[in-house]
Amino acid sequence: MPQIRRLRLGSVIAALLLAGPLPPARAQAPLTQASPPRAILAEAEAIAPGGIDDLKTVTLGGVRQWIHVRGNDQANPVLLLLHGGPGSPLMGKSWIFQRSWEDYFTVVEWDQRGAGKSFLPAGQQQPTLEQITRDTEQLIDWLRATYHKKKIFLMAHSFGSVIGVRVAQHRPDALYAYIGVGQVVNARANEAIGYQETLAKARETGNQAAIRALQSIAPYPGTEVTPHFLAKVAIERNWDVALGGMRYGRTTDPEAAFWSLSPDYTPQDVRAAVLGERLLPIALAAQVMAVDFDRITAFKCPVFLFAGASDRTTPVVLARNFLAHVRAPMKAFFEIPRASHDVMLDAQGVMLVDLVTEIRPLAKSHGGN
């Protein structure tokens, strides 16, 4: 499983489920030192007059889902981000890295069905990869029509890259380029190699607790997707995080804390995001573990892959080899030093430079909008 950060098996208390999202916190004037952090952040990242700042729901596949469209210049190309997980939304963390990107792109954050603000009650949490792919294609066409764009850029992180490759294969006509970050290629190989790299890191650092815990789940990942398998994934991911494979040089990944400061999220949204991150990996585990893009040999749109050099969640070697063996109108591999799985958090400026200098010009080469 590409980006499962914490998997807690067991009952989920129904009383925590949402009846519906509340409006997000917004900046209030005048701000003071006593103002809520969400309001201060909202003011700090405010879009300039004439830009785009649309937080709204769209109906995709018959389900209302939340998007946030932000950009300082409406003439800029659209960049749609597909978050990982399953169920780990980027919208609630976008305040960390995205503001400078909005000077060059109209950036679209989307909480996929069942995730974050788009959380669904437990009885409805049965999405499929095919369904999320259709949602994505519908959203792309909605964005093109609404913001008057011929094509858009599609960026997909971790689990999102499973959807991203499928969309790039099926709808290259709608994309200036596909941009994979922490690209998933073969889920079983991903788990096997990532496990070996995490165990090697534990040995390198002499972390005996990590070594014992990781050895206790061998052979990994195994052949069947069962509750026991999901428990093993949780152990591997916990040590992946603790040994810096998720965030470079860090031993924790406090997603809920980041979400709690987001101007886009209410406390209810944060609780929803936590629940979605528990439920969606269970619902999608078998489908994700069957992912195998090894047989893909060509794309009809440009393809760019970003990888943190220290990423053990989606091992760099798999993404590099995948891109080396596919044909595309244009392709490039960006391996980012001092970065792990969450490249956009670890190296946001480095990524932006590459996006602006190497990838964004494709929109102009196709005639602008």
Residue 11 has pLDDT above 90, yes or no: no
Mean pLDDT of 246-250: 96
- 308-365: per-residue pLDDT in tens? 999 999 999 999 999 999 999 999 999 999 999 999 999 999 999 999 999 999 998 7
Q: CB neighbours of 270 closer than 8 A, spacing ≥ 6?
A: 92, 256, 259, 260
CA distance 254 to 94: 14
- 185-206: per-residue pLDDT in tens? 999 999 999 999 999 999 999 9
Domains (range + CATH), the chain? 35-365 (3.40.50.1820)
Mean pLDDT of 211-228: 95
Q: CB neighbours of 252 closer than 8 A, spacing ≥ 6?
A: 241, 242
pLDDT band at 32 (very low <50, low <70, confident <90, very high): confident
- Tokens 């997000």 sit at which residue? 24
Mean pLDDT of 6-16: 37
Let me know how long the chain is: 369
Residues linked to residue 55 through DSSP beta bridges, in sequence order:
68
Residue 249 has pLDDT above 90, yes or no: yes
CA distance 163 to 141: 16
Residue 228 has pLDDT above 60, yes or no: yes
Please give the pLDDT value at position 354: 98
Please give the pLDDT value at position 126: 79
pLDDT band at 70 (very low <50, low <70, confident <90, very high): very high
CA distance 66 to 23: 12
